[in-house]
Amino acid sequence: MWSWSATSCPSGPRTSRSPANTSGTTHVNDAAIFRASPPSSDRAIVSSRSATPTPPVRCWSVPSTTGRCDSVTIRRPLLAFAAAALAVGILAGCSSDPLAAQYRSGDSKQYIAGDGTVTEIAAENRGAVVSFTGTDDTGAAVDSSTYLGQVLVLNFWYAGCAPCRAEAPALQTLSVKYDGKGASFLGVNVRDQAATAVAFGQSFGITYPSVIDTNGAVQLALSGQVAPNAVPTTLVIDKKGRVAARILGQATEPSILDTLIGDAVAETS
């Protein structure tokens, strides 16, 4: 159906989580941290279409900010993983995944960056319906069942995550584009308290809500889809409540996410 290819892989500093903290529970509550770091992008890709049929699970790899281009192939359905298998290497889909390398080594940037791999799942191969509840940053109750019948875009983020800040404006633009046109956006803040999430939204002009998921309930409901320390991650949930696509890492090219959302909205079965 379609695919994307990377034309460059800019070099950049390779950073990673300290092995002394493998729980992924570090909290960043200082709203000033994201105000001091405006959105930026240091990766470039181009998009192209081809007539090649799409296999049941297909991945595309876009340039990595880790200083190398990593090619990742996932050969098993995303939803085949058990909730107990919350290990970075397993959830990433291959033993050489750069997430695992970041998790094992280095410094304390407080997040693990995905390589931008885009995974799309054919409708007939999608897994079980995603189900979760929670409370958003305004204190309102959130229930995934209320989104059935429309496409839901879930973005996992937190305020101290530089790639999250970089992709925030593009996500907001797409949320406005699809407002009332078959798709809704919902953030999942994995570390911050509500006040920090609200301050982030005000700084970046974000109008859609975010579930405050410091207890990990939404992440657990989506185990097998989102590695516990891989932030940001964006999921496109189809009208039946199943995961249709995933971007592991920063959504550096908004047109790719736009296409994934548009395809899900256009589905009739």
Considering only CA atoms, which of 39, 36, 42, 40 is closest in space to residue 205? Answer: 39
Using an 8 Å Cβ cutoff, are 153 and 261 in contact? yes
pLDDT at 212: 98
Q: Please write the tens of the pLDDT for every residue from 162-209.
A: 999 999 999 999 999 999 999 999 999 999 999 999 999 999 999 999
Q: Which fold would CATH assign to domain 2-24+42-266? A: Glutaredoxin (3.40.30)
Task: Report pLDDT digits (tens) over 60-82.
Answer: 444 444 333 333 333 333 333 33
Please say whether the dihedral angle defined by the alpha carbons of residues 134, 140, 158 and 182, taken in this order, is positive or negative. positive
Rounded to whole angstroms, the Cα distance separating 122 from 249 reads 21
* 90 or 179: which leads in pLDDT: 179
CA nearest neighbour of 166 among 62, 40, 256, 28: 40
More confident residue, 143 or 33: 143
Produce one character per residue of 133-171: b if its CB has 16 or more CB atoms within 10 Å, e if not: ebebbeeeebebeebeebbbbbbbbbbbbbbbbbbbebb
Q: In the prediction, which pLDDT does 225 show?
A: 76
Cβ neighbours for 84, distance < 8 A, ≥ 6 positions apart: none
Q: Which residues contact 263 (CB under 8 A, 6 or more apart)?
A: 120, 244
Task: Choose from 1-5, 42-46, 79-83, 183-187 the range with maximum mean pLDDT.
Answer: 183-187
Residue 38 pLDDT exceeds 90: no
Tell me the C-alpha to C-alpha distance, in Å, between residue 216 and each of 36, 54, 148, 196: 27, 33, 22, 17
Query: What pLDDT was estimated at residue 69?
Result: 32
Q: Are 155 and 254 in contact, with CB atoms under 8 Å apart?
A: no
- Beta strands 117-121; 133-135: pairing state: unpaired
Task: Give the rounded distance of the alpha carbon of 69 from its chain centre.
Answer: 19
Tell me what pLDDT residue 57 has: 52
What residue spans define the domains of the chain?
Answer: 2-24+42-266
DSSP letter at 81? S
Q: Count the alpha carbons within 13 Å of 87 in the hemisphere toward its beta carbon.
A: 9
